[in-house]
Amino acid sequence: METNINNIEINTNTNNNNLISNQKYCCNVCYKEYSRKNSLEKHKVLCDFKHKSNLEKQIDYEEAGDIPTHIQLVKIVQQLSIKLSHMEEELSEAKKWMSRKKKKINVVGWLNDNVQPTMGFLEWVNMELKVCPHHFDLLMEYSLFYTVQKVFEYNLDISGKPEFVSPIRCFSEKQNVFYICEKGGEEGKSEWKQMLQSDFILLLKTIHNRMLREISKWKVENHDKIDDNEKICELFNKAIIKLMNMTFVQDNSTSRIRNGLFNYLKLDLKNVIEYDFEF
């Protein structure tokens, strides 16, 4: 009985060995058989290439021609490194802006703490705002808007008087909004506020009145020219009409003058301080 069992085990092992030895790996292209899978994989590399169509071979050849040389690869890597460095710098700057702690600053409060004008707005309008003879010459040749703009620039230009600190400020972050300062209290402390339309109209009326004064002076000094020269007389009369058409209500004319002053005076606060502002 023991002998039979051993014979059965021997026969079973023999059958398993036959199964292993009979296992084959076949190529799907040429149907060649291999006993080892690794041999089949090595064969498939060459077999696939040999049995490619002419079109497939042509495509492989064209694509192989696009492979860069070692020197070209080095140059490409160098250029990519430079671009990456620039992108990292830009990303670093962007992160600084994004990660900066947002601190809201009221613009009036900031002006009170940081800008001390030479004089208050009303004092500047009443005592310092000047209209000169050459401004009337401009009015005879050009538009009222252009002339008023030149009056503003003449009085607010700090290039010739660096010690002067204007009592009017505006910022590009808030379109067409002006801030004016008055000095009050015993210590003459600066107090900034948002300019009202009535403040702006006062400014225009002052320019208008002083322009009329210059016209009167010019007429007295050039009476003979007006009488003897028809062209000068015509220019003089047109200048009077331009000035008389100046309005002191909120309309397109005053809006255009206001825009001109804003564009001349505006300051970008982000170039001054790295905070968000409340207007």
DSSP string, 151-173: HHHHHH--SS-TT---SEEEBTT
Distance CA(218)–CA(128), nearest Å, equals 21
pLDDT per position as a tens digit, 87-101:
999 888 877 766 554
Distance CA(85)–CA(81), nearest Å, equals 6
pLDDT of residue 186: 57
pLDDT of residue 224: 87
Sign for the CA dihedral angle at 242, 245, 249, 253 comes to negative
pLDDT of residue 204: 95
User: SS3 for 238?
Assistant: helix
pLDDT per position as a tens digit, 179-207:
999 987 556 678 999 999 999 999 999 99
Of 278, 120, 106, 98, the residue nearest 189 (C-alpha)? 120
Distance CA(115)–CA(76), nearest Å, equals 53
For residue 279, pLDDT beyond 70: no
Residue 110: how many CA atoms within 13 Å on its side-chain side?
18
For residue 152, pLDDT beyond 60: yes
Of 195, 115, 196, 212, the residue nearest 158 (C-alpha)? 115
The pair of structure tokens assigned to 142 is: 């050009």
Note the pTM of the prediction, 2 decimals.
0.60
Instruction: List, in order, residues 6 or more apart from 176 with CB less than 8 Å away.
Output: 170, 258, 259, 262
pLDDT of residue 31: 83
Instruction: List, in order, residues 6 or more apart from 235 with CB less than 8 Å away.
Output: 140, 141
User: SS3 for 94?
Assistant: helix
Share of the chain above pLDDT 70, in %: 77
Contact 33, 25 (CB under 8 A): yes
Measured in whole angstroms, how far is the alpha carbon of residue 227 from the centre of its chain?
Answer: 56
Mean pLDDT within 137-153: 94
pLDDT of residue 206: 96
Instruction: Kindly indicate the confidence band of residue 5, based on its pLDDT and cuts at 50, 70 and 90.
Output: very low
Look up residue 269 and give its amino acid. L
For residue 216, pLDDT beyond 70: yes
User: SS3 for 34?
Assistant: strand
Distance CA(36)–CA(25), nearest Å, equals 7
Instruction: List, in order, residues 6 or more apart from 117 with CB less than 8 Å away.
Output: 124, 165, 166, 167, 181, 183, 190
CB atoms within 10 A of CB 265: 16
For residue 16, pLDDT beyond 70: no
H or E element that contains 37: helix 37-50
